[in-house]
Structure 1
């Protein structure tokens, strides 16, 4: 019998216990709010009539904070569509419920720390892009699922899931140690899933895109870059495009991920911080571990490197190409393409140069195709691994073009398109296709960088527009503000959610709490000094010379100041403050506090790398 998870549930909240009732079964899971014990029993009317009851659609898991554990439940969902007749759901809302009924047993410092930790969990849960299915394994590609045995499909969903993409894996630890609870253990994917019903030549088919964000080396832009010692890379995403026509299914898989070397790019108030490549660590080891695992999972690696080949990104290009050469592996190839230089001045047609260079690789790697009778016509035996500095905007554009070429071949093979017929010939479908991939780009960009993707006007329309350029400018400004002044908190929140940091109940009693770390007063005062100096300069620009007398004490002490001298002084003060702030930029924003390191898994380092 195929595995499934209960998603039709009632949560009954009693002062002593949580009762999770499966509505399509007689099983009842009881969670003791005092002892934390979890038991599975037959439902024989144990639920107290006085219990508060609410409908839930699944259990996200349990997180332990200072006050007590907190139960996280899914309270609202929306249907995305069906894959092979299995419904796929998007999480729309959740609730975090404490085991303890009050926090009166905590001291004031503990209460504040617990409140901050709770805010972090709620911050991650507010992020869009959580998906699940109670009957279908969203974490595996079509090809991987087809290559498994019939017995594998009977395993519990959590047990057989690809753990790289189970974002609530840490939260489910309270349940996974008890195999009998498997029908309550719901693996949740983070990323993007969309199912579109399409028609071409009056032939209906489904087009599906699934982007699976990896929970290893998870984080946000600038705070999480490069590879760790185990070979996991920042912003790693597996994206699968599925075509389903008359029960024939085609699939094309691509990956993206940060340059697989040990490097950092911590925010420091500069618009583009300079990447720092570690010289203290063995770069080839992490690089090799990354690709050893990728080759096992996907086959030959064709690395599409879109970094600038001038300026600060060029260091990464050279280091990346050297690592590929030093690997001496026939299964690792790199194709570098300076996206910004080649496409400058809106010359986006030059992307065809890159597509031509990748055409032979794509023809060789193929795609997965399973016929309606269950026979496998094709297998994909290699993968494009695409990166830019963020693995977002440039990466999204190129991935959509590669996926489009694969889809065109698949539609021709199953008979939706005739040989030689192109997707471009069908404007209604092309509109759906472009917007599907642009929506995927926006979702992944919001999750990593805090805003929608840049360059999506090209993905949506096939050309760059003035409005698109203006929107890119707006999103870039928002990214700057979020990355420098907010994302430290967001990084901490993710570290707490995925289990990189474990809260100790003794924090603020006999163990230090990382949330209570004072900063030097000078680093707090300097930004305010900058604000005052800039304001003074601005006011003096507005007031004509001679209309106001500035006290000499504010100037040079020689008596009788004027606005011209005040403007000059304000300018000097502003310049000094700007230099001071930028010179110590890493100290002037709310940094991540839980894991203050150059975020290479398993070792603490300073930012200097």
Structure 2
């Protein structure tokens, strides 16, 4: 948050727990020069702003184990199954800059229980019913995944600039000059968590951080640019290039759980990428430029049903189905509303921007169905503002011929250049989220707006997509540099005002000044961004990263791709369901009916396990002799085997995953027949010897793969389960781990063919 003129921002501020252990009191992140700072009270019931005197009256915990934590920001409050938890950032590092604004990366975060939830563990066997204890045990599992998100290193914020919007959208929003453009909070990744603080009113605004999830980085560009005769002396040659990648929170999730569109037209793995160039000496030369492009899953309703196959079959819904076509239409309308609603120059200028839908999929074979439905949907939309460009990378670049990507650039360069890039002059203003925010010395003047963009996608919208986006960004960089550098000639234009890029390369001299070392630095940052997006969606770094970084395939890169592919294979089948549950809670997508179902089945079963352990560390003869880690390893296996032994053959029923259809009036449960299994009951307990063997193995499945040992264990476990299912003829659908809180996941699968 920008500091008011009479206050300064604190790098760190203090969090206290109240003496009764029920609430937290947070120091203000703004230090007032006049005194009289407010405090923020967070309890189970409310979030309130208090004066220092009011906060002191509540009593702070000053015992020997007093809870006093130095934090650098509030991420938000998450409502779990049993109680609420406060998520705070405890460490940060400078990731990027935008003129005077600093962009911070959260490197450590803590999750703190609000209210009495933390005391439940002490009384878990006495005076607590199975349902409540079940909620607690489920919360502990889900909080592990929530903690992974908070500590992933992919959360970024600025205390002076609203990072959730591009410079262009921030300008249009704050100046209220958007004539057509729709600007919303889709990239405010912590919006759901921050809502309780936002609801406390304007006085609580200093504690709100508009965080994005994705990537931010800045590199130095030192370029010996040519200057025309008469150019000003000492023209700057040092620039900063900042890349910001923002993940859309509306359809966030894991690779095989979130594919294509939802019913509101939101696409999976949707990332807005903004390449910003400004002068290192921005106090003297204030011009800057920004180029935006987006990536996202193929815009139709489709999916791949996990079944332990390396490449699950594509399931694609026909766009002739009303629900599917409505989703496609909403998506294309939304692209127009977000990115091509303005003229190039405010109130005038050519209206030539377009959405360029770049499809990198194969036109036949496995990906052919998706290519056809993509092309058909654009054709059916019938709008000159939305164009389609097909470029099957696997065909054109077969055998490592990635230089053929220049063919794609040649096809779309006119549309890219004519869609433009933002050109502005002045100081990037501080966000106006706090009344009385600091004023900039030189107001930002917009010289030209970007009026179109490229929308790039492949199957996962990761590897081929990131390669393509980095190439587009490198192609546009000389245009950005030329238009902000004093002394360089203006870009040639045809009679209708369109840049004459079809006649010659108007920035050839600038392009030639980009040395190979400089290009490597730029592509490395784009590869880092691609790795971040890939880790969020698929669990590993991007494939083909060596091509993005060096322009060619390497032996080391091929080995890394092989390891990453196998790691994805394991994570997608046995970890991503749990991660998706965490994302659904983080973004507010979890549905009460699904939560209740989870508590009544798995939660109650876990509570009963806690109450009646076979082995308990420190209890009984065995518990005192055997090390606790051995007990913790053996106990789940004993419980699973006992549940199987107790199951009566006459009560065995196949697993039917509940599918919830939400309407305005009712919630009804049906079944997804493809997920029926004779080997497990509806609570996941084994109904057969094969089911028992599978359940026992899954107990020891690593929840992450971050080391060589974890990789070997995961690979061995997966191989065992794969062989077992093939020999015994067990459907892979019943073995994989699916999300338990996602209604949308089940509803979409009901439409797929």
CA displacement, residues 381-401 of structure 1 (integer Å, 9 cap, x when unaligned): 111000000000000011011
Q: In structure 2, how many angstroms separate the alpha carbons of the residues matched to 1:608 and 1:291?
A: 21
Q: In structure 2, how many angstroms separate the alpha carbons of the residues matched to 1:523 and 1:397?
A: 47
Shift of 1:531: 12
User: What TM-score do you get using the length of structure 2 for normalisation?
Assistant: 0.69
Partner of 2:38: 28
CA displacement, residues 312-335 of structure 1 (integer Å, 9 cap, x when unaligned): 210010011111111111111110
Q: In structure 1, how many angstroms separate the alpha carbons of the residues matched to 2:366 and 2:595?
A: 44
Q: Equivalent residue of 1:329, what SS? A: coil
* Mapping of residues 92-103 of structure 1, within 5 Å: 92-99=107-114, 100=116, 101-103=118-120
CA contact (8 A) 1:66 1:505 kept: no
Is residue 379 from structure 1 mapped to residue 420 from structure 2 by the alignment? no
* Mapping of residues 356-375 of structure 1, within 5 Å: 356-372=410-426, 374-375=444-445
Partner of 1:214: 248
Q: Would you say how many aligned residue pairs link Structure 1 and Structure 2? A: 558
Residues 179-188 or 107-116, more deviating: 107-116
Partner of 2:738: 591
CA contact (8 A) 1:261 1:320 kept: yes
Partner of 1:56: 71
Counterparts in 2 of 1:578 and 1:508: CA distance versus 1, 3 Å: closer
Shift of 1:596: 5.6
Counterpart selection for 2:147 from 106, 109, 122: 122
Counterpart selection for 2:544 from 436, 455, 479: 455
Partner of 2:218: 195
CA displacement, residues 272-331 of structure 1 (integer Å, 9 cap, x when unaligned): 111101245532211110111110111131100001112121001001111111111111
Q: In structure 1, how many angstroms separate the alpha carbons of the residues matched to 2:546 and 2:604?
A: 41
Counterpart selection for 2:388 from 312, 334, 339: 334
Partner of 2:531: 442
Q: In structure 2, how many angstroms separate the alpha carbons of the residues matched to 1:506 and 1:445?
A: 29
CA contact (8 A) 2:360 2:393 kept: yes
Partner of 1:134: 159
Shift of 1:451: 0.6
CA displacement, residues 193-247 of structure 1 (integer Å, 9 cap, x when unaligned): 0011221127111100000000001101111101011100100000000001232
CA contact (8 A) 1:27 1:40 kept: no
* Mapping of residues 74-93 of structure 1, within 5 Å: 74-93=89-108
Shift of 1:2: 6.0
Q: Equivalent residue of 1:144, what SS? A: helix
Partner of 2:344: none
Q: Equivalent residue of 1:501, what SS? A: coil
Residues 217-226 or 65-74, more deviating: 65-74
Structure 2 stretches lacking a partner, 5+ long? 225-235, 280-284, 341-353, 427-441, 489-506, 606-681, 698-720
Shift of 1:10: 0.9
Q: Equivalent residue of 2:249, what SS? A: coil
Counterparts in 2 of 1:514 and 1:316: CA distance versus 1, 3 Å: farther
Q: In structure 2, how many angstroms separate the alpha carbons of the residues matched to 1:141 and 1:580?
A: 54
Q: In structure 1, how many angstroms separate the alpha carbons of the residues matched to 2:222 and 2:417?
A: 26
* Mapping of residues 383-532 of structure 1, within 5 Å: 383-415=453-485, 419-421=507-509, 422=511, 425-501=514-590, 507=596, 517-519=682-684, 521=686, 525=690, 528=693
CA contact (8 A) 2:591 2:741 kept: no
Shift of 1:40: 1.2
Counterparts in 2 of 1:464 and 1:505: CA distance versus 1, 3 Å: closer
Shift of 1:147: 2.6
Residues 54-63 or 231-240, more deviating: 54-63
Counterparts in 2 of 1:149 and 1:608: CA distance versus 1, 3 Å: closer
Q: In structure 2, how many angstroms separate the alpha carbons of the residues matched to 1:508 and 1:315?
A: 36
Q: In structure 1, how many angstroms separate the alpha carbons of the residues matched to 2:42 and 2:722?
A: 60
CA contact (8 A) 1:89 1:131 kept: yes
CA displacement, residues 485-536 of structure 1 (integer Å, 9 cap, x when unaligned): 111111111111111115699958995668965236368826948999xxxx
Counterparts in 2 of 1:120 and 1:530: CA distance versus 1, 3 Å: closer
Shift of 1:65: 2.1
Partner of 1:286: 327
Q: In structure 2, how many angstroms separate the alpha carbons of the residues matched to 1:387 and 1:193?
A: 21
Q: In structure 2, how many angstroms separate the alpha carbons of the residues matched to 1:607 and 1:287?
A: 14
Is residue 167 from structure 1 mapped to residue 186 from structure 2 by the alignment? no
Counterparts in 2 of 1:65 and 1:149: CA distance versus 1, 3 Å: closer
Q: Equivalent residue of 2:309, what SS? A: coil
Partner of 2:364: 310
Root mean square deviation of aligned Cα: 3.2
Is residue 264 from structure 1 mapped to residue 334 from structure 2 by the alignment? no
Q: In structure 1, how many angstroms separate the alpha carbons of the residues matched to 2:383 and 2:599?
A: 52
CA contact (8 A) 2:577 2:738 kept: yes
Residues 280-289 or 491-500, more deviating: 280-289
Shift of 1:424: 6.6
Counterparts in 2 of 1:305 and 1:493: CA distance versus 1, 3 Å: same
CA contact (8 A) 1:423 1:430 kept: no
Residues 81-90 or 204-213, more deviating: 81-90
Partner of 1:553: none
CA contact (8 A) 1:123 1:493 kept: no
Is residue 223 from structure 1 mapped to residue 257 from structure 2 by the alignment? yes
Shift of 1:81: 3.0
Counterparts in 2 of 1:311 and 1:531: CA distance versus 1, 3 Å: farther
CA contact (8 A) 1:19 1:28 kept: no
Q: In structure 1, how many angstroms separate the alpha carbons of the residues matched to 2:568 and 2:387?
A: 32
CA contact (8 A) 1:238 1:256 kept: yes
Q: In structure 2, how many angstroms separate the alpha carbons of the residues matched to 1:91 and 1:514?
A: 32
Is residue 67 from structure 1 mapped to residue 82 from structure 2 by the alignment? yes
Q: Equivalent residue of 1:346, what SS? A: coil
User: What TM-score do you get using the length of structure 1 for normalisation?
Assistant: 0.84
